[in-house]
């Protein structure tokens, strides 16, 4: 019998989720009356992704109430960084007198690059050209010791992080113009704070118009990366960078999919659910939300009756990728074909992944739930840090998903020699 994957690092992510929630509450409440998160200035890459809109898709563009701070709704609220085209990511390596950077600051940079840039290129089918930029190639020393900022898990933006952002802007000096960048990555020296095995401090403050201003723009979208997500399995060099695309996912407006129970709602099917362990991709819903799918690649099954659709593997560029079955204005079922390839290294049973999206459910509360085609099977993977139960969740040809209450039936009818699947959606 193989050992259980060490899941404790994932559970510890709870605190980071709470931090995001706390800060976003502040951002929303302080921007009331001035428009939701609109204070970002040009140059910070504000506004939703440039979604190609089609009238046929309108019933599938679900949305949440304004009280939802980080919603799965489409389109994404304004204030987050652009997720298509060329995105300039100011990347700073930061240290402290009580946690001095060890070795070359660029070695810290290379723990995350070029992998993060490649991850986004692959996930976006080349639609996001992510450019990490390092105008300062040494450790940027903060004026106060690390312990003075009060950084711990669940720490809110005020006062510690606000001070940190101010100090970073001041220390960067006139050589860095924050108007030139869409988002900021702060790569902390790994000796600042606890090991990620004990506590994950990495956190993102996103869409925050109340952030300190530098060069006339609010530093509204910042990801802070601490420690090393090294589970001791010997894979840090190939998988340790994955915390950064997760944190940057928040900068682009994506919520956390893991909950108090860890990754049990979505498993390893999205990097916003699990960013430890083998590489994974984003859900098709997130790719649509980020502007990485054309309207021709998305089908909206809103009408009564029966209709058939072809789906091509999500990892492969081009072709139909997503069928959405709306239930009402804020929820629906998404269907996509997941196979091993591209960023999806750990798919052990390919097939049609079916999940419910609820735009009214906030980050970290379970906005997405994957339906398991084989419940209580204990899954098909034993890869470290991969949620096992949902690893065999996809539906195979011949299998059927039913929601009797909503009178919806989804049949996976066939797979062809090219690896494409056919599904039939029936709405009574």
**270 makes contact with Zn ion (CB under 5 A):** no
Cβ distance to Zn ion smaller for residue 72 or 256? 256
CA atoms of 352 and 342, how far apart (whole Å): 17
Q: How far is the CB of 246 from Zn ion (least distance, A)?
A: 6
Q: How far is the CB of 224 from Zn ion (least distance, A)?
A: 11
CA atoms of 194 and 14, how far apart (whole Å): 16
Q: In this structure, are strands 213-214 and 217-218 parallel, antiparallel, or unpaired?
A: antiparallel
Kindly identify the residues of this chain, within the stretch 355-394, that bind Zn ion according to CB under 5 A.
Answer: none
Cβ distance to Zn ion smaller for residue 244 or 386? 244
Q: How far is the CB of 201 from Zn ion (least distance, A)?
A: 12
Task: Extract the tokens encoding 114.
Answer: 């070029």
Q: How far is the CB of 190 from Zn ion (least distance, A)?
A: 19
Cβ distance to Zn ion smaller for residue 99 or 155? 155
Q: How far is the CB of 356 from Zn ion (least distance, A)?
A: 20
Shortest-Cβ-distance residue relative to Zn ion = 256
Q: How far is CA 334 from CA 61, 283, 385, 418, in A?
A: 12, 9, 25, 22
Which span sits near Zn ion by CB under 5 A: 36-44, 221-229, 248-256, 381-389?
248-256
**275 makes contact with Zn ion (CB under 5 A):** no
Q: How far is the CB of 250 from Zn ion (least distance, A)?
A: 6
Cβ distance to Zn ion smaller for residue 225 or 325? 225
Place of tokens 């952002």: 165
Cβ distance to Zn ion smaller for residue 153 or 321? 153
Q: How far is the CB of 99 from Zn ion (least distance, A)?
A: 23
Taking CA 165 as the corner, what is the angle to CA 244 and CA 129, rounded to the nearest 5 degrees?
Answer: 35
Task: Extract the tokens encoding 279.
Answer: 């590489």
Cβ distance to Zn ion smaller for residue 256 or 281? 256
Cβ distance to Zn ion smaller for residue 188 or 410? 188
Among 256, 274, 281, 411, binds Zn ion (CB under 5 A): 256
Kindly identify the residues of this chain, within the stretch 201-240, that bind Zn ion according to CB under 5 A.
Answer: none
How many residues touch Zn ion (CB under 5 A)? 1
Instruction: Give the residues lining the site for Zn ion (CB under 5 A).
Output: 256
């Amino acid at each position: 019998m193989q050992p259980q994957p060490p899941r404790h690092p994932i559970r510890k992510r709870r605190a980071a989720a709470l931090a995001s929630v706390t800060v976003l509450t502040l951002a929303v409440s302080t921007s009331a009356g001035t428009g939701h998160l609109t204070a970002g200035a040009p140059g910070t890459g504000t506004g939703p992704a440039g979604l190609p809109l089609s009238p046929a898709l309108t019933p599938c563009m679900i949305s949440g109430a304004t009280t939802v701070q980080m919603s799965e709704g489409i389109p994404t609220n304004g204030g987050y960084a652009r997720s298509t085209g060329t995105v300039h990511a100011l990347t700073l390596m930061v240290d402290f007198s009580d946690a001095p950077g060890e070795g070359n600051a660029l070695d810290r940079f290379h723990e995350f690059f070029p992998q993060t840039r490649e991850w986004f290129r692959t996930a976006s089918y080349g639609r996001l050209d992510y450019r990490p930029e390092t105008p300062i190639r040494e450790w940027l020393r903060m004026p106060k010791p690390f312990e003075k900022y009060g950084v711990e898990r669940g720490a809110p933006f005020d006062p510690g992080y606000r001070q940190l952002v101010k100090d970073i802007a001041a220390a960067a000096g006139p050589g860095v113009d924050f108007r030139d960048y869409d988002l900021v990555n702060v790569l902390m020296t790994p000796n600042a704070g606890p090991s990620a095995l004990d506590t994950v401090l990495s956190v993102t403050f996103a869409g925050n118009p109340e952030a300190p201003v530098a060069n006339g723009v609010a530093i509204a979208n910042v990801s802070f990366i601490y420690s090393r997500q090294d589970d001791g399995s010997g894979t840090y060099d190939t998988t340790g960078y994955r915390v950064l695309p997760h944190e940057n996912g928040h900068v682009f407006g994506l919520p956390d999919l893991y909950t108090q129970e860890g990754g049990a709602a979505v498993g390893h099917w999205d990097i916003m659910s699990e960013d430890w362990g083998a590489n994974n991709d984003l859900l098709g819903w997130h790719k649509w939300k980020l502007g990485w799918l054309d309207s021709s690649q998305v089908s909206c099954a809103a009408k009564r009756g029966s209709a058939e659709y072809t789906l091509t593997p999500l990892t492969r560029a081009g072709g139909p990728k997503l069928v959405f079955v709306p239930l009402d204005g804020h929820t629906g079922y998404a269907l996509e074909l997941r196979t091993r390839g591209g960023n999806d290294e750990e798919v052990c049973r390919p097939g049609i992944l079916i999940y419910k999206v609820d735009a009214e459910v906030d980050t970290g509360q379970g906005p997405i739930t994957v339906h398991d085609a084989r419940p209580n099977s204990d899954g098909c993977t034993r890869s470290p840090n991969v949620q096992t139960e949902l690893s065999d969740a996809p539906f195979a040809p011949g299998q059927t998903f039913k929601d009797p209450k909503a009178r919806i039936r989804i049949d996976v009818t066939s797979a062809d020699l090219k690896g494409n699947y056919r599904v039939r959606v029936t709405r009574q």
